[in-house]
Chains A and B, each alone.
Chain A
Amino acid sequence: MTRKKGSPARAAGLRTPSWVAWLFVAPALIVYAVFVLRPIVLTIQYSLYRWDGIGPSTWAGLGNYAKVFTDPDLFASILNAIKLILFFSVIPVLLGLAIASTIRRIAASRLALVARTVLFLPQVIPLVAAGIAWSWLLSSTGLVNQLLRLAGLGGVARAWLGDFSTALPAVGVIGAWVLLGLCTILLLSGLSKIDPALYEAARMDGAGPLREFVSITVPSLRQEIGVCVTVTVIAALASFDIVYVSTQGGPGNATMVPGLEIYYLAFSERQVGMASALAVVLMVLVLLVALPIQWLTKDRSS
């Protein structure tokens, strides 16, 4: 496979001809090209046509895109995904930060070790199972309402996922439950890398807990916060499983998100072109959000 050459070894190439190295890359690249790159190109192509998936397609130009941004229902699904960021991202990251810095001191205790396992459970189980469990918790006879009645708040009890005004936040709560543990543990592991001397020095200078948090904790956790935000924002924008199981986009269109809308458009309503245009918008949206966060939080000192 490789010829022995008399020339001294090149440090970079390790005497392996480029074409041999490309043979190592080829299988991965081929599978990736066939099942990911080609579909991406096809999505873009489909998005420019009107097609029912069976008959002939007609050229639509950018018409499908115009409709994504003008059709109230379609655009609402994008807005819903953006609103979900508050629950999937902002709450888990902020709450995670608060919790992680509170439990920092006992991070090495046995309780914290157990917590690490427990808090990871939502990451391990299928989102579908989380959706089913929470649909039951949030239903009119579920535990959430039972607790509210116990607390004397029976007046606000309702079918949380079936009410137009609360369905989207209720879906958001499910997402927050799934992601809070991950964020907390990630941030906690980041905190454990901070030199305790930094905190002591701050104490000497008379810094309070809030000052400590703003001047030491947050800047040191820049990378971890970046990871949490990226993962959770993508989870919000591309949510599918939880919504599919808990509300199917309803009531009405109150919890419709782009992922689910694409699924309905493509496979129930046979509007492949529209589905593809929305898919392109979703992919671009995710990239537009993920790339700047990566760039902002990259550790440029190393």
Chain B
Amino acid sequence: MIVGRRETWTARVLLVLLMAVTLMPFISLFVTALHPSGSYPSGLEWPRDPQWGNFVKAFQAARMIELIKSSVLIVLGVVPLSLLLGTLAGFAIGHLRMAGRNLVFLVFVLGLTLPFEGIITPLYYQVRDMGLLNTRWAIILPLIGLFMPFGVFWMRAHFVNVPDALSESARMDGANVWQLFWRIHVPLAMPALSSLAILLFLWTWNQFLLAIVLVDDPLKRTMSGALGAFQGQWGTDMPLLCAGSLLILTPTLVIFLIFQRRFVTALLQGSLKG
């Protein structure tokens, strides 16, 4: 194929420009974070005397260690259980194909587009009546429920494509469904499971609405919810707010950069399937 040189250059310039626009907010956060705390920097301007200490200050002000611990606890509560429940259901609907599967699948799929705001009010009263308000369970349990449509949808899509013959031969060897599921199907589903795990991790870590409504104490929230509180507290101190925001988005950024290829694939597949 003949590729025009000029076209290639236009493409490169466009791509670099697009990346610059994408990175601009991060750069602005970073540069502003280095200005003296309490000052009003203007635009993008490298400070005469970079205040690296702002990051330490924000780290302490935001109580980052406790925040990370809280977010990790919530992720550990949500992700493994969601994976397990989603896989069990996806396996039954996609592979065992029992009677009534289409109906139950439809019920799950209808929840795919549900905006969380739609059910937040009754969820608040329900969680309160369960005595879970202001605990991490108030975020964990509803999130598992809210992730079921996508989890089941995703895992069914995997299991539908698993050949029946695989189960047939295991059955010949005398395995029951439970063994069949754990010994054959779960190991084979690992790629689908790990992509799902990445997406669920991201959506849990960044969950904001449930955190601010159901948990008052920022230290029991997700990172995202804590950032909301941090903004309320330090909103007038621009450099410190910028330093805090950067710190709070660092964990996701680090994990993203480590697993970037998986992330991009997972997000692409995730949005294509969803």
Contacts and interface: CB of A to CB of B under 8 A. Distances in A.
Nearest to A123: B267
Interface stretch (B6-14, B49-57, B61-69, B186-194): B6-14
Contacts of A16: 96, 98, 177
Interface in B96-144: 96-101, 104, 107-108, 110-111, 113-126, 141-142, 144
| Shortest beta-carbon contacts, A-B, top 3 | A35-B145, A146-B43, A238-B115
Contacts of B217: none
Contacts of A189: 268
Contacts of A262: 117-118, 120-121
A7 interface: no
B91 A24 contact: yes
Interface residues of B, number: 107
B156 to A, nearest CB: 11
A120 B18 contact: no
Contacts of B93: 25
Contacts of B200: none
Nearest to B242: A136
B148 interface: yes
Contact of A133 (B28, B92, B97, B114): B28
Interface of B: 1, 3, 7-8, 10-12, 14-16, 18-19, 21-26, 28-29, 32, 40-44, 84-86, 88-89, 91-93, 95-101, 104, 107-108, 110-111, 113-126, 141-142, 144-146, 148-149, 151-152, 164, 167-168, 171, 176-178, 181, 202, 205-206, 208-209, 212-213, 223-224, 227-228, 231, 238, 241-242, 245, 248-249, 252-253, 256-257, 260, 263-264, 267-268, 271-272, 274
Nearest to A12: B97
Contacts of A147: 43
A36 B148 contact: yes
Contacts of B100: 18, 22
B28 A143 contact: yes
